[in-house]
A and B are shown apart, each in its own frame.
Chain A
Amino acid sequence: MSGKNFGFVIKAGRQIDIDVTDSTLADDIALEVGAWRACISCGSCVATCPAGISFRSELPTLNRAFQHNVELPTLKSCFLCGKCQLVCPRGIPTRYLSILIMQKLQSRKNVAEGIPSV
């Protein structure tokens, strides 16, 4: 590939291709917390989050646009205050869910890098 420069960059699409979505993590999480799928994207959790996390947009990412290399970096700043859980009209245990998602992501990363689980 010569990679000749014509003075512009071919824009990569932003399209989510559900056909190649990896749903194993979502299914994994649903085994423990089935309720998380009942999210209606009302945004209450985002509005009250002191760490600036958009929990409601991480969930569809996990559900539809997840590939093994996708990270959910904003969840890292969660300090488990629990306010989101308090305001959730669907009764989703968001506080626990936050820990669970990060744990699952980390253990997948560990497996990929050959680090033994604790």
Chain B
Amino acid sequence: MSKYWKEYQKEIADDNYFYVRSCIRQNFFPGAENLFIDILRNKLGKTVFEDADHTTCTGIGYHTDIVPLETTMTVVSRQFALMMEKGYENLVVSCVTSFGLYSEILDMWKHNPELKKKIAGYLAEATGRKFMEPKNMVHASDILYKYRNDIAAIAKHKLVNRHTGEPLKIVDHIGCHYAKTFPERGVGGAEFPQVLTGLITAWGGQTVDYPERRHCCGFGFRNYLVQENRGYSIAQSKIKLESMKPYEPDLMVANCPGCAMFLDRWQYTLEETEGSIYGARGRKIPVVTHEELAGMVLGYDPWEIGLQTHQVEVEDLLDKIGIDYNPELKYADRKGNLIGEPEMIQHHLC
């Protein structure tokens, strides 16, 4: 594709990361964040620090007008203070909305030093901590992007259909808050993002550039949180799914909590309400996160990294790539005891 992407590259620190988790990702894909830390520490040999004291960024509350901006800023300044206290200056953010919110706040502080001073005052007053700003701040998918070739070098699998030898056709989906507000903070900018296609191509797959590639998944906190409004949300996912359908993608990868969640769950809902299925041969399209994609090529056990928690079954995909798994243990806990199967599972297994 075009060389033009190269104009949107950003500085990504190479080691010593302070990792902040997402509120919702731990529920949506419970294995993903631990997997990320494991890959960094044990596969790439990096230092990652997690602080038990770090909290929500208030993103959801902020986007739904429940938490005032100044409160959000104070909470965020506390995260930054925690990092500096522990001796780190490179922030790695798990959640795309947190990343967008941090970027926005840093930008507001840059343009409004008075506001920054005020927040530093609030922080000192509320917590007694010292105000600081991160030296480098990136999203977790940026780190995987930076080390994509190192991961490829130690990968056990390629994103290739072993039955046909063809690269897997993969839809990338970037959370809006990753680069649409600040294109210069995203690898590849907002219009032709490179961060996930970089992973896909480095690991042997092929990106699907379909017409609605840049369209929002529709999650939108306001849309989702009020039940009656969810129709707006699902309508946007539907636009994307309809647009990608003719390409018969093998999977989708998303770097945002909401996108990965809803592109996955709404496929089930659309089948239940309208009878529509968007994958090839009457099957739905599996959705994974960037960490899970890395985990798959690195040869992690699919059930260890939580792939069974996705609504759309991933077994087909695992077979295509050639990843071994034990069907018996899909719904087993760490000790091997079965914890029960999800209720709806029979219906949406096509």
Please give the residue numbers on chain A whose beta carbons come within 8 Å of chain B beta carbons, in ascending order.
Answer: 1-13
- Where chain B touches its partner, the secondary structure class is helix
| A8-B227, A10-B238, A13-B239 known; A3-B232 Cβ under 8 A | no
User: Inside 8 A of A13's CB, which chain B residues have their CB?
Assistant: 235, 239
Nearest-CB distance from B216 to chain A (Å)? 14
Check: B343 CB closer than 8 A to any chain A CB.
Answer: no
- Per-residue A-contact encoding for B303-322, CB less than 8 Å = 1, 0 else: 00000000000000000000
Complex contacts, A9 vs chain B, CB 8 Å: 231
Residue in contact with A8 in the complex, picked from B228, B272, B275, CB distance below 8 Å: B228
Of the candidates B235, B239, B275, the one whose C-beta lies within 8 Å of that of A2 is: B275
Q: B199 contacts the other chain (Cβ, under 8 Å)?
A: no
* Other-chain contact of A6, B232, B238, B269 (Cβ < 8 Å): B269
B230–A6 touching, CB < 8 Å: yes
In the bound complex, CA of A107 to CA of B179 (Å): 54
| Residues of chain B whose beta carbon lies under 8 Å from any beta carbon of chain A | 227-232, 234-235, 238-239, 269-270, 272-275
Provide a sorted-by-A list of 8 A–B residue pairs whose CB atoms are within 8 angstroms.
A2-B273, A6-B269, A7-B228, A7-B230, A8-B234, A10-B270, A10-B273, A12-B235
Find A10's partner among B227, B228, B235 (CB 8 Å cutoff). Answer: B235
- A10 contacts B275, CB within 8 Å? no
* Chain B residues near A11 (CB-CB < 8 A): 231-232, 235
In the assembled complex, the CB of A78 is this many whole angstroms from the nearest CB of chain B, namely: 36
Partner of A4, one of B228, B235, B273: B273
| Residues in chain A near residue B269, CB distance under 8 A | 6
